[in-house]
Amino acid sequence: MSSQKIFLFDFDGVIVDGMQEYWHTSLLACERYLNSPYISVDQKLYKRVPNSFKEIRPWVKYGWEMILIVHEIIKTENPLTNDNKDDFINNYYQNCQKILKDNYWLAEDLQTILNKSREYQIHKDFRKWVDLHNPFFEVINLIEELSKREIKTGIITTKGKIFAEKILRQLNIYPEFVFGYESGTKIKIAQKLSETNEILGFIEDRKKTLIEIKQNSETSHIPCFLANWGYLKESDRYNLNNGIKLLKLVNLEELVAI
């Protein structure tokens, strides 16, 4: 194994809070590209992220799922609200699959229109789109400190690589590696990187992803940190095992000592 050290980061929920961007972009995708007869888009919807969307966000794994959620929230009949969101969450995966089937949609097509929605905003008003992302400056400072110590950084995200890179450049962050959803699963990417690098840690806000990394014999040695500031379910913060540590923004400086 190479002696080159690298630290890995998730993107949305770890480096930036992209809640506003996901809502705005998914809503725009529904309005411009989805062509669903069951929704009505009021322009006031763009101004505020509904609590129901925020509550469901921790269950999301892939970007295209956001379009499903927004579609259900803005339906004219039987919309998804705070009152019935628990029923949706309790069978989240099954509900997503049912919505796909009922509407004859493919996940790949929804991901495509999510990307088209982002591209439209970038061409129309790039600065406005970037400003929908709120950076966690403590994490940015950590990345800068790692760079000073000649420790590589890698970003692994389920966002498209091209979109993540645009935001990173605006934050003046230039990691050695950026992997988007196009590159495959996070565990496969981490496994590949570990073949030629010493991975000092991976900060992620999806507990299930970290559990999968710890349960895989090829990646179980990677120190895993669950971002307390990210999109967590309340239960995620408890009963951590398999070497997964709950990490707070105020404790990031301690990681530099690794």
Domain range list for the chain: 5-17+133-257, 19-130
Give me the pLDDT at residue 3, please: 65
- The conformational region for residue 246 under phi > 0 = left, psi -120 to 50 = alpha, else beta, is beta
Enumerate the H helices of the chain as residue ranges.
19-29, 51-56, 64-73, 85-90, 92-102, 107-130, 137-148, 161-170, 186-194, 207-215
Q: Tell me the longest C-alpha to C-alpha distance in the chain.
A: 58
pLDDT score recorded for residue 2: 47
Distance CA(29)–CA(3), nearest Å, equals: 45
Quote the pTM value. Answer: 0.92
How many other C-beta atoms lie within 10 A of the C-beta of residue 126?
A: 12
How much is the pLDDT for 258? Answer: 61
What is the per-residue pLDDT across 1-51, written as a single tens digit (0 to 9) for each? 446 999 999 999 999 999 999 999 999 999 999 999 999 999 999 999 999
pLDDT in tens, 68-120: 999 999 999 999 999 999 999 999 999 999 999 999 999 999 999 999 999 99
CA 184 vs CA 13, 93, 181: distances in Å? 19, 19, 6
**Per-residue pLDDT at 139:** 97
For 222-256, write each residue's pLDDT tens digit: 999 999 999 999 899 988 887 899 999 999 988 87
How far apart (Å, rounded) are the C-alpha atoms in residues 25 and 46? 9
Please determine, looking at this structure, whether the domain spanning 5-17+133-257 carries the CATH number 3.40.50.1000: yes
